[in-house]
A and B are shown apart, each in its own frame.
Chain A
Amino acid sequence: MVFPGSNDDRDAAWALGSVGAEPALVWHGETSLPAATGAVVLPGGFSYGDYLRTGAIASTAPVMAAVREFAATGGPVLGICNGFQILCEARLLPGVLRANRQLEFVCRDVRVRVETATSLFMQRCKVGQELVIPVKHGEGAWYADEGTFVQLAARGQIVLRYEEDVNGSLGNVAGVVNEVGNVMGLMPHPEHAVDPLLGSADGGLLLAALVDAAAAHRVAVPA
């Protein structure tokens, strides 16, 4: 998906291509997804200049109705950074992303721990595995009320946690999935970690798993 202000759309497309996907960029004003879509990625950036709240305005974009429908049929949907913020605002994922506790933009490699490996996004990872993936955000502090948080943890929907306090995120949450496990959002950028020459290829594990899931979805729900 490309929203006005997305800026990691081409990086995501390149990285997905490097793990075997055939990505297509889809403008936010579209009302349907390309035929034979196997997975949807909402990229990082600053959609609509982060006006109102991050992701709030993009969550009402025309294409989001098609994304919602795609997710409802079990289609894999991954939101990265601003994409995560959009999915939360669209209430396709629980919680909300708020300004970093330290009110500073954070831009560096972080270590995240795999908490659960049951969702389709984690099929190439093991529980307890440590991944190094960069973050770059000013509003990445994930928040949900206590009851929701406890419930999500019990259901295994907290997928990734930072190994340290990066931004004031509740429970150091870095990534969550929906109840069914086909919609995931995370603040770290897997598309910036697909080449060991640039520090880490750990992000490729998530993207490759997404490509596997996309192929499976195309078989399960033909266009």
Chain B
Amino acid sequence: MRATVLIRPKGGILDPQGEAVGHSLRKLGFDVRTARVGRVVDLEIEGDDAESARGEIRRMCEELLANPLIESYEIEVDGS
């Protein structure tokens, strides 16, 4: 089963990387108000139960993939 985890800097958390990206985009002439930069983790995991996969991935996020102090995460499990 395939799943994707989207990790973002939490709202209100300063994101210097996103600011730098936004600044560069504006320099290129794009009308960008804000840019925030996060991370994508694609996973391939055993099993075919989407609910239990979701629970397992939530634990992965809490234990390693995201730092809950500064990051939020979103889990997308491929329906198969």
Residues of A bordering B, CB below 8 Å: 52-53, 56-57, 60, 89, 95-96, 98-103, 143-145, 168
Contact = CB atoms under 8 A, between A and B. Distances in A.
Given A96-B69, A96-B70, A143-B70, A52 B64 contact: yes
Contact of B64 (A56, A101, A143): A56
B67 interface: yes
Nearest to A96: B69
B64 A60 contact: yes
Interface of A is mostly: loop
B67 A53 contact: yes
A145 B67 CA distance: 13
Contacts of B14: 98, 101, 168
Interface string B7-23: 00000011011001000
Contact of B67 (A56, A57, A60, A168): A56
B65 interface: yes
Interface in B22-51: 39
Closest 7 CB pairs of A and B: A96-B69, A103-B16, A99-B16, A96-B67, A101-B16, A96-B70, A103-B20
Nearest to B66: A53
A56 B65 CA distance: 8
Interface in B47-77: 63-65, 67, 69-70
B69 A89 contact: no
Contacts of A53: 67
A99 B64 contact: no
Contacts of B65: 52
A31 to B, nearest CB: 19
19 contacts: A52-B64, A52-B65, A60-B63, A89-B67, A95-B69, A96-B69, A96-B70, A98-B14, A100-B16, A101-B14, A101-B16, A102-B16, A103-B16, A103-B17, A103-B20, A143-B13, A143-B69, A143-B70, A168-B14
A112 B78 CA distance: 51
Nearest to A99: B16
B70 A98 contact: yes
B69 A99 contact: no
Given A103-B17, A143-B70, A145-B69, 4 more contacts: A56-B67, A95-B69, A99-B17, A168-B14
Nearest to B41: A52
Nearest to A104: B16
B7 to A, nearest CB: 9
